[in-house]
Amino acid sequence: MNKDLLYTECNFKAVRSSGPGGQHVNKTSTKVVLSWSLELTTAFDEFQKVRLEKYLATKLTKDRMIVLSYDQSRSQHKNKETVFTNFIKLLEKGLRVPKHRKKTKPTFTSKRKRLDSKKRTSEKKNNRRPPKL
């Protein structure tokens, strides 16, 4: 994954943060909004785009764009770095191919342990019952 190419493809926009904060919030644009088009990107091949589209299905807009925002810091530069880092993590997670799971059977010992513990629990509960007359 070419992070420099992705960085150039991203559109960053600074907007005013919402919520409480007094004078600083009212006069500075520290919230950063990142938008990136999956359709127009040249950083990934078609196979990767399909994987990303499937993984990011709930996060994509109708135009197949991702829009992320971040406003935790009072610094616009920190917010920009953080939103881009989160974006990269999201893409890396979407591109990760899961390992193929090998089916296994429980071992004889594990079966025996499970049945023994069930038997012990059953005996314990039977001992709690009042005696039959």
Query: What are 112-125's pLDDT values in tens digits?
Result: 999 999 999 999 99
Q: What pLDDT score does 107 carry?
A: 96
Nearest to 42 by CA among 83, 93, 6: 6
Is residue 101 in some structural domain? Answer: no
Residue for token digits 């919402």? 18
Q: What pLDDT score does 24 carry?
A: 74
Q: Domain range spanning residue 10? A: 3-95
Is residue 105 in some structural domain? Answer: no
Residue ranges of the chain with pLDDT lower than 50? none
Is residue 123 in some structural domain? Answer: no
Q: What pLDDT score does 133 carry?
A: 81
Is residue 67 in some structural domain? Answer: yes
Is residue 125 in some structural domain? Answer: no
Q: With H, G, I as helix, E, B as strand and everything else as coil, classify residue 3.
A: helix
Q: What pLDDT score does 125 carry?
A: 95
Rounded CA-CA distance 122/115 in Å is 10
Is residue 28 in some structural domain? Answer: yes
Q: What pLDDT score does 52 carry?
A: 93
Q: What pLDDT score does 58 carry?
A: 93
Is residue 127 in some structural domain? Answer: no
Q: For residue 55, what is the domain's CATH number?
A: 3.30.160.20
Rounded CA-CA distance 97/117 in Å is 38
C-beta of residue 85 within 8 angstroms of C-beta of residue 73: no
Is residue 126 in some structural domain? Answer: no
What domain count does the chain have? 1
